[in-house]
Amino acid sequence: MSKLAREDLMNLETYATERNEFRATVLSHKKNRKVMIGEHCTLYFEDRLTIQYQIQEMLRIEKIFEADGIEEELSAYNPLIPDGCNWKATFMIEYTDVTERQAALEKMVRIEDKVWMQVVDFDRVFAIADEDMDRSDDGKTSAVHFMRFELSAEMVEAVKQGAAISSGIDHPAYTASVEPLLSPVRDSLAADLA
C-alpha cells in the first residue's frame, strides 16, 4: 500500500468544502476495519484512507498549510499505513467509567504484547506495539496503543486465497478472542496485503 504524499491531500479550502462527504466515506469504510475483542478492547485497523482522514483532520484543526508542516504530519502518520505484509492498528482499551478504566489499566500491564492475529492454522502473530514510544510502565498500561502485525509470505498468500483470520488477547487480566473475523472485516484486511 503506497504512502501518502502532499499531492494526495486536499488543501484546507477544498477540504472544508468536501469534509462532510469525505468523512461519511471514511466512517463507512471504518465499519469493516474494527474488531472488538471482548467487551472492552478494540482494534481499529489503519490503511491509506483512514490515515489520509487523520492527516486531513490534523491539518484542519491545526490550520497547517505550509509545506514543512504538512511534511511533518505525513512523516508522523505514514508509518501507520500497512506495507503489504502486515496489518497496522490502533488498539484501545475502552471503559466508560473512569474509575473502572483506571483499575483495569493497572491490571493490564503489558497487554499490548499479548494481542494476536492468526491466519487459519498458522501460528499466532503477536503485536509489535508502540514502536514510537513505550506506553506501559510497571504500574499501568495506556488506554491506547499502536500495533503492527507482521505476516509471513505464506500467511499473506493464504489470506489472499480466502483463509479465515482470527484475533484475540491472552493476558492474565483479560482473555478473549474473535474466531473467525466476519467476512467483510476479513476482506477489508485482505486488501491491506495487496
CB 115 within 8 A of CB 136: no
Q: Work out the percent of the chain whose per-residue pLDDT is above 90.
A: 93
Tell me the pLDDT tens digit for each residue of 2-29. 999 999 999 999 999 999 999 999 999 9
CB 125 within 8 A of CB 89: no
Cα–Cα distance measured from residue 87 to residue 60, given in angstroms and rounded to the nearest whole number: 27
Cα–Cα distance measured from residue 147 to residue 131, given in angstroms and rounded to the nearest whole number: 8
Q: How far is CA 194 from CA 118, 175, 183, in A?
A: 18, 31, 17
Cα–Cα distance measured from residue 54 to residue 49, given in angstroms and rounded to the nearest whole number: 9
User: Nearest CA to 79 among 8, 134, 130?
Assistant: 130
pLDDT of the residue at 139: 83
Amino acid type, 49: L
Tell me the pLDDT tens digit for each residue of 141-155. 999 999 999 999 999
Residue 37 has pLDDT above 90, yes or no: yes
